[in-house]
Amino acid sequence: MTLRHLQVFVEVCNQGTMSAAAKKLYITQSAISQIIKDLEGHYGVILFRRVSHKLYLTEAGNKLYSHAIKMVQYNELIESTMADTRTTSTLRIGSISAFIMIDLVAEYKKRHPELSVSMIHQTRSVLDMLLYSSQLDVAIVSGLFNLSNYDFYPLTTFDIIFACNKNTALSPLLQGDLPEISVEELSRFPLFICKANEDVEPMLNSVFLEYNIHYNVVGTFINYSGLTRVAIEDLGIVLINYTNFEMSKKYLKQVKVRGTSISSRVSLVCSKSNSENPEIRSFIEFATSNFSSIKKEYGSKEDTDLKLLR
């Protein structure tokens, strides 16, 4: 039996007569009658009883209807979903950095206004999970991505700097426009980091391990706006990428730490099965080719969040 047989059967059940079903489906009543006979012959049962020119389902008819209606409805769902796919294509992007993602998408949409884009700002570990479960098409992440079934496209490298309140009262060691301290002196201060850049903490660990010095990260945040607020409130020293520091240097100053250099590598990642998808490939090629020029605009943009931090 075909889906068409079941669709006709369901419509006869819904309308109550073959003539009404024929009008609804724009086919002849004789064609309806033949389809019902085919179904009854196939299953070896009687599907309807006729009482006063109206059809009533038999017990066998009720059983078939309970299954047929589900198949018809599911087919309608498939048709609707595929129609949406034909008319609207959505590129699903995730990022550890809201600024990078938003700026890239904004510029890309100028060239592809017809494309629908969904965005999620999350930590590296969450983005890894979303990529693995095919809930994202492409992710902007920090650190390396060594899984063999993913393609990895370097985007940029951000310097990570130590910073504190511009007028800090934490210690005389931090006085001046550009204070410089040792790693041992750094370990005495409360340290705050951004968990979105999951390669930063291992690099910080290596700095202190090299000097065999104990330290303690007392706070972690999923974005840099939280770190900025911590520094503005003079609660400790923060590790912040240079782009965000430039946006908030009205309130913060850099703290030089002798013998340290920390950077975060940012890349685009997608599964190998998606890397040849035309829409995903187009976005990746645009991002890798144009990121440097887009990045230059970051420092000139006003960080509206800082107005809320004061």
35/64 Cα distance (integer angstroms): 14
Of 97-111, 127-141, 273-287, 296-310, the range with the lowest mean pLDDT is 296-310
Q: Which of 199, 196, 180 is nearest to 237 (CA)?
A: 180
Angle at 213 between CA 207 and CA 215, to 5 degrees: 85
Q: How are beta strands 54-57 and 90-95 bridged, if at all?
A: unpaired
Q: pLDDT (tens digit, 9 = 90+) per residue, 6-35?
A: 999 999 999 989 999 898 888 889 999 999
Q: What is the pLDDT of residue 257?
A: 93
- The 10s digit of each residue's pLDDT in 238-268 is 998 887 888 888 999 999 999 888 888 888 9
Say what the alpha-carbon torsion angle 45, 46, 48, 52 is, to the nearest 10 degrees.
Answer: -170
269: which DSSP letter? E
pLDDT tens digits for 138-166? 998 887 655 667 888 888 887 889 999 99
CB 204 within 8 A of CB 127: no
Which pLDDT band, with edges at 50, 70 and 90, does 40 fall under? very high
pLDDT digits (tens, 9 = 90+) for 209-245: 888 888 888 888 877 788 899 999 999 999 988 878 8
Q: Give the pLDDT of residue 196.
A: 63
Counting residues of the chain whose pLDDT is more than 90, the rounded percentage is 33
- pLDDT tens, residue by residue, 187-203: 999 999 887 666 777 88
- Mapped onto helix, strand or coil, the DSSP state of residue 254 is strand
